[in-house]
A = this chain, B = another copy of it.
């Protein structure tokens, strides 16, 4: 075969064999030194290190990947990187991955089973080291296939059905309950809930938390479906406000719906917190900038992301028992929930 496969760039040292020749050792020894094999003698090690230095050699990762049948990359499969919740998570994941030399592949599913499946198949094709997954479809069979293929999965934010996956979660029930109880404690009795998809763990749990708080206070739960999306929430809240008995307070279940809710309140000329008080779940950067500043219940996203990376790397390193970490949510008390004025 005489085709010029490698474009023969003279600048960077090219193969492990060249290094071996310069160091006057075998390629195997070079590989061992590069991978920190402790058995290599000090003299050999020194010769190899010098040759690597001299040639400016960098290992060919593509060759390494093929040999090991594994890439060093980590897949992050989320619904949407534009959602500040996920931007923050990806950022924290990437910081850790970078320190350890792992590239990060970002995948947006838009909560659709089709894209989720396609991306998980891409992760299998790329034979990534592991996947951090905030699942749209927690029981999709492709998740089992990924695990079968030897790729560990850490569920982030939402559990997956397969027990072999690790999970890093927030205590959504208690979070939503805290939000609701805070409004009740402020004197509100008609607290409505702007929620989302029941099928998704997070949505179901937050609704549960809200309902528990209401029932314990002998109040009637009243929830509307904002679909976890800005525009759906906007329409739903607009309709809620038109009802004969509009609520005096709202718990909104995520930051996208909070955006929609704020738009709806503004359009309807309803003032916060005077006409309607509000506690939002999620704590995006703009929460303190809108007027009034929003009281929120947020997940400790950075710590959760750090945990997820650690679990993933442990798993890739061989741990076989799956683990599950639950973080408490955090209250950010600001101005949108002030007491009912009665």
**Residue positions of A touching B, CB distance < 8 A:** 5-7, 9, 11-12, 58-63, 65-67, 69, 71, 73, 80-82, 84, 87-88, 90-91, 94-95, 98, 101, 103-108, 115, 118-119, 121-122, 124-127, 145, 148-150, 259, 262-263, 284-286, 288-291
Contact = CB atoms under 8 A, between A and B. Distances in A.
Contact of A62 (B81, B82, B127): B127
Contacts of A5: 67, 69
B6 A69 contact: yes
A69 B81 CA distance: 30
Contact of A289 (B88, B118, B286): B286
Contact of A81 (B58, B90, B127, B291): B90
A63 B66 contact: yes
B126 A61 contact: yes
Count this chain's copies in the assembly.
Answer: 2
A91 B81 contact: yes
A109 B19 CA distance: 31
A119 B94 CA distance: 12
A61 B259 CA distance: 41
Given A9-B148, A62-B71, A125-B61, A104 B103 contact: no
B73 A82 contact: no
A180 B9 CA distance: 49
Nearest to A122: B103
A41 to B, nearest CB: 24
Given A5-B69, A81-B87, 9 more contacts: A58-B125, A59-B125, A61-B125, A62-B69, A82-B88, A94-B107, A95-B108, A259-B286, A289-B290
Contacts of A71: 62
B94 A87 contact: no
Contacts of A285: 82, 259, 286
Contacts of A121: 58
Contacts of A105: 73, 103-106
Question: Residue among A81, A105, A291 with the most chain B CB within 10 A?
Answer: A81
A34 to B, nearest CB: 13
A322 B59 CA distance: 30
A67 B62 CA distance: 9
Contact of A87 (B9, B69, B87): B87
